[in-house]
Amino acid sequence: MYLSVKKLTLALLNALVFTSLTACGSGGSDEPKPKPDPKPDPVVEEDEIKRTGGNDIGVTFDIKETGDMFTGKPYLLKYKNTHSEEAAKSDDEEDDAIKVTAKYGEISEINPLTGEKAKSGELYYYLPEEALADTPEDFYRIDEKLTVLYGKQKAVYTWSLGTDNEHGDVKGIDLNVVPAWHLKDLNDDLISGKNVIVGVYDTSVDFEHEDLKAKKYQPSISEDYINKGLTLSEIKNNSSVLHGSSVSGIIAAEANNGRGVRGIAFDAHITSLDLNYEDINVSKHSFLDIINASIGYNSSYYYEPAWELNLQALAENNIPFIKAIGNSFDNVGYDHEEDYNQKCTGLGVNCTFTQNSSLERSRYQIIVGALNSLGKKSSYSSVGSHIWVTGTGGEFGYNGKDNSSAAVVSVLSRFLPDSYEDWDKGTPWRKNSSKYNGRLLYTHRMNGTSAATPSVTGVSALVIQAKPDITVPQLRYILATTSNNDETPGWSSLQYSPVVKTVPEFDSESMVFDYGWYTNGAGLRFSNYYGFGVVNAKKAVEKAMNCNSDELCRKREVFPSDFKSTNVNPCTSDDDGYTVTCRFTDFAGVDYQETPSSEIDVENVAIDLTSFSYLKNNASFLDDCYMAILGKRSAVGYVNSLLQIDMTSPSGTRTKIKSFYSNWDFEGHVFKKMYPNGEFLINTSDYYTEKVSASDTFTMEFRSKCKIDLDNLNSRISVVVNGYTD
Q: What is the pLDDT of residue 137?
A: 60
Angstrom distance (rounded) from CA 98 to CA 77: 13
DSSP string spanning 675-693? -TT---EEEE-TTTT-EE-
* Polymer length of the chain: 726
> Going by C-beta distance under 8 Å and a sequence separation of 6 or more, which residues neighbour residue 503?
509, 510, 511, 660
Burial class (CB in 10 A: 0-12, 13-18, 19+), 197: buried
pLDDT band at residue 513 under the 50/70/90 scheme: very high
Q: In 3D, which of 98, 99, 100, 102 has the Cα closest to residue 145?
A: 102
Angstrom distance (rounded) from CA 293 to CA 287: 17
Contact by Cβ (8 Å): 612, 668 = yes
Contact by Cβ (8 Å): 656, 385 = yes
Angstrom distance (rounded) from CA 362 to CA 83: 71
Residues forming a β-bridge with 446? 408
Contact by Cβ (8 Å): 477, 522 = no
Residues forming a β-bridge with 604? 722
pLDDT digits (tens, 9 = 90+) for 540-567: 999 999 999 999 999 999 999 999 999 9
Q: Is the pLDDT of residue 465 over 80?
A: yes
- Three-class SS state of 612: coil
Backbone angles phi, psi at 271, to 5 degrees: -115, 120
Q: Is the pLDDT of residue 441 over 90?
A: yes
Q: What is the pLDDT of residue 640?
A: 86
Angle 436-440-443 from CA coordinates, rounded to 5°: 105
Q: Is the pLDDT of residue 217 over 80?
A: yes
Residues forming a β-bridge with 721? 563, 605
Greatest mean pLDDT among 73-87, 291-305, 542-556 lies in 542-556
Residues forming a β-bridge with 600? 692, 725
Greatest mean pLDDT among 125-134, 388-397, 426-435 lies in 388-397
Percent pLDDT > 90 in the chain is 61
Please give the mean pLDDT across all residues of the chain: 85
> Going by C-beta distance under 8 Å and a sequence separation of 6 or more, which residues neighbour residue 541?
180, 183, 191, 462, 463, 466
Lowest-confidence pick of 1-5, 300-304, 457-461, 663-667: 1-5
Q: In 3D, which of 660, 649, 663 has the Cα closest to residue 702?
A: 660
Q: What is the pLDDT of residue 336?
A: 52
Q: Is the pLDDT of residue 80 over 90?
A: no
Q: Is the pLDDT of residue 656 over 80?
A: yes
Q: What is the pLDDT of residue 15?
A: 29
Mean pLDDT of 305-325: 90
Contact by Cβ (8 Å): 581, 699 = yes
Q: Is the pLDDT of residue 359 over 90?
A: no
pLDDT digits (tens, 9 = 90+) for 578-602: 999 999 999 999 987 788 889 999 9
Burial class (CB in 10 A: 0-12, 13-18, 19+), 158: middle
Q: In 3D, which of 721, 585, 699 has the Cα closest to residue 649?
A: 699
217, 219, 222, 227: CA torsion to nearest 10: -20
Q: In 3D, which of 157, 196, 185 has the Cα closest to residue 48?
A: 157
Q: What is the pLDDT of residue 664?
A: 87
pLDDT band at residue 636 under the 50/70/90 scheme: confident
Q: What is the pLDDT of residue 167?
A: 55
Cβ neighbours around 186 below 10 Å, total: 10
Burial class (CB in 10 A: 0-12, 13-18, 19+), 258: middle
Q: Is the pLDDT of residue 198 over 60?
A: yes
121 DSSP 8-state letter: T
pLDDT band at residue 139 under the 50/70/90 scheme: low
Q: Is the pLDDT of residue 631 over 70?
A: no
Contact by Cβ (8 Å): 295, 337 = no
Lowest-confidence pick of 162-176, 204-218, 629-643: 629-643
pLDDT band at residue 362 under the 50/70/90 scheme: confident
Lowest-confidence pick of 92-101, 322-331, 620-629: 620-629
- Three-class SS state of 361: helix
Q: What is the pLDDT of residue 342?
A: 65
More confident residue, 185 or 630: 185
Q: Is the pLDDT of residue 251 over 50?
A: yes
Chain centroid, CA 229 distance in Å: 24
Distances in Å between the Cα of 84 and the Cα atoms of 62, 81, 87, 225 are: 20, 8, 6, 65
pLDDT band at residue 617 under the 50/70/90 scheme: low
- The enclosing H or E element of 106 equals strand 106-108
Q: Which amino acid is at 425?
A: K
Angstrom distance (rounded) from CA 603 to CA 722: 5
> Going by C-beta distance under 8 Å and a sequence separation of 6 or more, which residues neighbour residue 610?
668, 671, 672, 678, 679, 680, 716, 717
Mean pLDDT of 350-377: 92
pLDDT band at residue 462 under the 50/70/90 scheme: very high
Cβ neighbours around 121 below 10 Å, total: 12
The reported pTM is: 0.90
Angstrom distance (rounded) from CA 216 to CA 549: 36
Cβ neighbours around 725 below 10 Å, total: 16
Report the 3 state secondary structure along 565-607. ECCCCCEECCCCCCEEEEEECCEEECCCCCCCCCCEEEEEEEE
Q: What is the pLDDT of residue 415?
A: 96
Chain centroid, CA 384 distance in Å: 15
Chain centroid, CA 571 distance in Å: 37
Angle 34-67-267 from CA coordinates, rounded to 5°: 25
Q: What is the pLDDT of residue 618?
A: 53
